Amino acid sequence: MKRQASGMARKEAVAGWLFISPWIAGFLIFAAGPIIASLALSFSYWDAITPPQFAGMANYRRLFSDPLLRRSLFNTVYYAVFAVPLGMCTALGLALLLNQKLRGMGIFRTLFYLPAVTSGVATYLLWMWLFNPQLGLINRFLRHFTSNPPLWLSSPDWAMPALIIMSLWGTGGAMLIFLAGLQNIPEQLYEAATIDGANNWKQFLHVTLPMLSPTIFFNLVMAVIGSFQVFSAAFVMTNGGPSNATLLYVLYLFQNAFMYFRLGYASAMAWLLFVIVLILTLFQFRTSKRWVHYG
């Protein structure tokens, strides 16, 4: 019986490995392989045509002397500092509104979530038209209050705020997660708070936010990581301009890799970005013990 049981276990193990082997092969080929290759390339000069040449730490030393890299990193931090809290607050506000028990609420939830799944390039083209200084709907509305509305994407001072405003369009994903978190809060807590005399604002501060803190933490981590990986919006709408005002880090990495063919330097930039995002994520996990409440 023991031999038969061990034989069955061995067959099940083999079957399990066979079923998971396509995923393992895909991971090794399309994820682990490129990661290891990029680490090796970060220590070399490579233009994608001639064979790579070992460069030691030259690419990493260049990271600290490249003024455009510092500018792109500053622009990315600037974007993250404003886009992340604005997106989080907008998503939470929409979730609170859509958590009401009203007829037809499912339709409104669908409508507010749809922008998160629309095509990126089509959305960016739409926003480019909205931000048009002469014909855009935004400036046509603002001309009712001022005769000199912003130039938006054509202005170094307003191009980045335009991208930040546009980022609010895609808050439907975070809104949906917040909505799921709100619906998991027990109604008994609100009933007890009402009996204790707490108004709606106090219930939000002392019941909703603490119970929603794990969801807030998850959305915050994902939003910070996503804000450092923004590429397509800046690439399609401004291509880093005007005057490098919207030159985000990943866009500059793309330019080095596929426009200037400095693939070794671009690989070093990618690993620097990985370290920055890792440090920020670890910092958030470390500080979460102070404000995230489970159970």
The domain that holds 233 is classified in CATH as 1.10.3720.10
User: Does residue 53 fall inside a structural domain?
Assistant: no
Residues 27 and 104 both lie in one domain: no
Among residues 219, 254, 218, which one has the least CA distance to residue 233? 254
Check the CA dihedral 178-180-185-187 and report its sign.
positive
- Pairwise CA distance, residues 117 & 120, whole Å: 8
CB atoms within 10 A of CB 175: 25
Residues 7 and 138 both lie in one domain: no
Total number of domains in the chain: 2
Among residues 70, 81, 53, 6, which one has the least CA distance to residue 263? 53
User: Does residue 54 fall inside a structural domain?
Assistant: no
- Pairwise CA distance, residues 139 & 128, whole Å: 12
Q: Which domain holds residue 27?
A: 2-41
Among residues 253, 221, 255, 250, which one has the least CA distance to residue 233? 250
Please report where in the chains the tokens 């803190």 appear, as a residue.
213
Helix (H) or strand (E) segment spanning residue 53: strand 53-54
Residues 163 and 258 both lie in one domain: yes
- CB-based burial of residue 102 (10 Å sphere; 0-12 exposed, 13-18 middle, 19+ buried)? exposed
Would you write out the chain's pLDDT as a tens digit for each of its 295 residues? 556 557 778 888 888 899 999 999 999 999 999 999 999 999 999 998 999 999 999 999 999 999 999 999 999 999 999 999 999 999 999 999 999 888 888 898 989 898 888 878 889 999 999 999 999 999 999 999 998 999 999 999 999 999 999 999 989 999 999 999 999 999 999 999 999 899 999 999 999 999 999 999 999 999 999 999 999 999 999 999 999 999 999 999 999 999 999 999 999 999 999 999 999 999 999 999 999 988 6
- Pairwise CA distance, residues 239 & 88, whole Å: 26
User: Does residue 236 fall inside a structural domain?
Assistant: yes
Residues 248 and 279 both lie in one domain: yes
**Contact criterion met (CB below 8 Å) for 63 and 210:** no
Residues 142 and 273 both lie in one domain: yes
User: Does residue 238 fall inside a structural domain?
Assistant: yes
Residues 13 and 107 both lie in one domain: no
Residues 34 and 66 both lie in one domain: no
Question: Quick one: DSSP state of residue 118?
Answer: S
Among residues 196, 287, 265, which one has the least CA distance to residue 252? 265
Check the CA dihedral 39-44-47-49 and report its sign.
negative
Q: How far is CA 197 from CA 187, 192, 207, 210, 211, in A?
A: 16, 9, 13, 18, 19
Rounded to two decimals, the pTM is 0.91
Among residues 225, 121, 112, 131, which one has the least CA distance to residue 169? 112
The CA R_g of the chain, rounded to the nearest whole Å, is: 25
Query: How long is the chain?
Result: 295
Residue 118 has a pLDDT of 82
Q: Which residues face 53 on adjacent strands?
A: 45
Residues 7 and 130 both lie in one domain: no
- Pairwise CA distance, residues 137 & 141, whole Å: 6
Residues 197 and 286 both lie in one domain: yes
Residues 166 and 244 both lie in one domain: yes
